[in-house]
Structure 1
Amino acid sequence: MTTTTRRRVGIAGAIVGAASAGVAAAALAKRIAVGRIRLRHDEEASEPFGELRGREHTLVTSDGVALHVEIDGPEDAPLTIVLCHGYCLNLESWHYQRKDLRENYRLVLWDIRSHGRSQRGTADDSTIDRLGQDLAEVIEEFVPGPCVVVGHSMGGMTIMALADSRPELFGEKIRAVALIATSAGKLAELTLGLPAMVSKAVHKIAPSTVSLLGRKGSLIDKTRSAGSDIAFLITRHMGFGDSSNVSPTVVDFAESMIRQTPTEVFAAFYPALMNHDKLSALHVLDPVPTAIVFGDRDWLTPPDHSRAIAAALPKAQLAEIPDTSHLVQLERPGIVNDALRDLIKRVEL
């Protein structure tokens, strides 16, 4: 090996070594940062997330998908509360609301198709309209009397799809509605806090990228089998507004629900979310008491989306929660629970 070759090899080795050291240093810094977060006092450390249980049922939908349903609270309660969870979550995301309401009200919680313990549907049936049909079937099977329907994120969109297809249910059967951190449409215009040009570029490549992720889903899921520091930090940053004070246990709980959702499911529902447009169906909700709850730091369904819903429903009660992001029911459960109880009281009067 010549002197020149040895010099080039040495330089290349130094570059690789420096790069490796940089990656290792970044990983170490990230691990230290997460470790410091976890060392803080955590009032939720003993909270029994994922341990609340009800009477379990299976509903086979009209297109043959088995949905996991749980009934909680007194069976003879005069009013039922139906809880519809969001994208890449499951019915456990209603932990604090379930805990607060189960003593006095009959609760119906369900995992939407392809999420939680419900059966996987096909990509063709991964639509908001199909979720609206599923909700109608859940209500018909498990709600004997009047009910209040509550939806977070894609769960709120599911309620809008139900309003579009089954408007006759709103009034006598569905007495009130709560729409939490959701949207009536135009999610494809989200900036996610990015500069306009960058956001436009991201939206241009997002559909093909998500489609590719779906095709490689099983391979990707192998790398998601255990929680990571990166996943923790992303969930903490994107899902919670006051991330400096949010409980690490709550972040871990949310991240575990997201991680349990297969990548193929994430990819299958993505087009439905981007194409969702039910603004014209909102008038169906106007005759029933409606609560709109959202965080002012929500990047995924920004405040303007909730305000647009409120503009279409001028009689609705609007609750904007400061320093809060998309997972508002986990980040500020007390405020959300109070809003739900106020809504329920309007029905019970």
Structure 2
Amino acid sequence: MHYVESGAGTPLVLLHAFPVDARMWDGVRTELDAHFRVLAPDQRGMGQSPLHEAAAPELTSGDSPWPDEREPSPDSAAEDVLALLDELRLPSAYVAGCSMGGYVAMALARRAPERIDGLILADTKAEADSTEQRDNRLRVADRAEREGTTGWLAGDTLPGILGRTTRHRRDNVVERARALVEQQPSAGVAWAQRAMAARPDSSGTLRAYEGPALVLVGDEDALSPPESARDMAALLPRGELVTLPEAGHLSPLETPETFANAVREWLDGSG
């Protein structure tokens, strides 16, 4: 499992959205690593992480071996994160997840809440997909395997995952997001879509999570809108909600300084 590590102190794991990789966190990570030990992994099949163990290159200091080949699901991805924590001898960490990364963070809270010092959920939702949403994910997965992703995935995805302010005023962020989407391996895109389609409703998981929790949402997020974030924060016994201005579904990439400030203030208060 490829990951980027920087900083020292309290460990914080950043789990990226679909269909990008850990580089979406670069701006946030550099804002936080003066105060925290920040770990940003590429999830299975995305970025530089192989889809299966057999595809793994010789390990470097930024790599950790996969435990085994797993069926697509957020719980499988959560097991990969637990294996990384074990590899780094970290008994627990703060965990932040954006969109798909939020699904993985909730799976971690379901499987091993004792390993999470605090939970940060950004631009994500607790409920499972509807039948229509699930079917659409599976169609995208099949198309990615059949055709690859060049020429259509970024065009289909970016209007939904970027806020209107970013689309109209932040050309550099739009191009950065486009580049990240276009660099993702087709097989990893398909695995991730099938994993998200297989996810359960996590409302009960959030009600049962007793640790500190922060819910962040861009006020221009059309996929996981602010009203959904309010409902999710209300499920968490110790949940707090922060709405980020002029940000969409990829708020850490769109407004990294604002996002990092909200996380830093919350971590300072919850520690």
Report TM bin, short chain. Answer: 0.7 to 0.9
Compare relative contact order (CA 8 Å, sep 6+) and give the higher one, 1 or 2: 2
Distance 1:241 1:207 in 2: 24
Amino acid aligned to 1:102: D
How much has 1:208 moved relative to structure 2? 5.9
Task: Please say which structure displays the higher CA radius of gyration.
Answer: 1
How much has 1:214 moved relative to structure 2? 3.6
Matched with 2:2 is: 68
Equivalent in 186, 196, 211 of residue 288 of structure 1: 211
SS in 1 for 2:196: helix
Matched with 1:31 is: none
Distance 1:182 1:135 in 2: 18
- For the pair 1:261 / 2:184, whether they are aligned, the reply is yes
Equivalent in 124, 128, 136 of residue 182 of structure 1: 124
Matched with 1:216 is: 146
Matches within 5 A, 1:68-87: 68-74=2-8, 77=9, 79-87=10-18
Equivalent in 80, 88, 101 of residue 155 of structure 1: 101
Give the conservation status (yes or no) of the 8 Å contact 1:167–1:284. no
Matched with 1:342 is: 265
Distance 1:159 1:209 in 2: 25
Equivalent in 332, 336, 344 of residue 255 of structure 2: 332
How much has 1:162 moved relative to structure 2? 1.0
CA RMSD of aligned residues (A): 2.7
- For the pair 1:97 / 2:28, whether they are aligned, the reply is yes
Distance 1:238 1:206 in 2: 16
Q: Percent identity?
A: 25
SS in 1 for 2:216: strand
Q: Deviations over 1:44-78 (max 9, x none)?
A: xxxxxxxxxxxxxxxxxxxxxxx10222113xx2x
**TM-score, normalising length: structure 1:** 0.65
Distance 2:141 2:90 in 1: 41
Q: Deviations over 1:167-204 (max 9, x none)?
A: 332xxxx3212111111123337xxxxxxxxxx6xx59
Q: Deviations over 1:226-285 (max 9, x none)?
A: xx9x94696256422314543211111111111112333323322332342221111343
Structure 2: any 5+ residue segments left out of the alignment? 54-68
User: After TM superposition, what 4+ stretches of structure 1 lie above 6 angstroms from structure 2?
Assistant: none
Q: Deviations over 1:8-65 (max 9, x none)?
A: xxxxxxxxxxxxxxxxxxxxxxxxxxxxxxxxxxxxxxxxxxxxxxxxxxxxxxxxxx
Q: Which moved more, 1:329-338 or 1:108-117?
A: 329-338
Matched with 1:48 is: none
Q: Deviations over 1:64-116 (max 9, x none)?
A: xxx10222113xx2x11111111211111101111111122211111110001
SS in 2 for 1:216: helix
Structure 1: any 5+ residue segments left out of the alignment? 1-66, 190-199
SS in 1 for 2:130: helix
Give the conservation status (yes or no) of the 8 Å contact 2:51–2:187. no
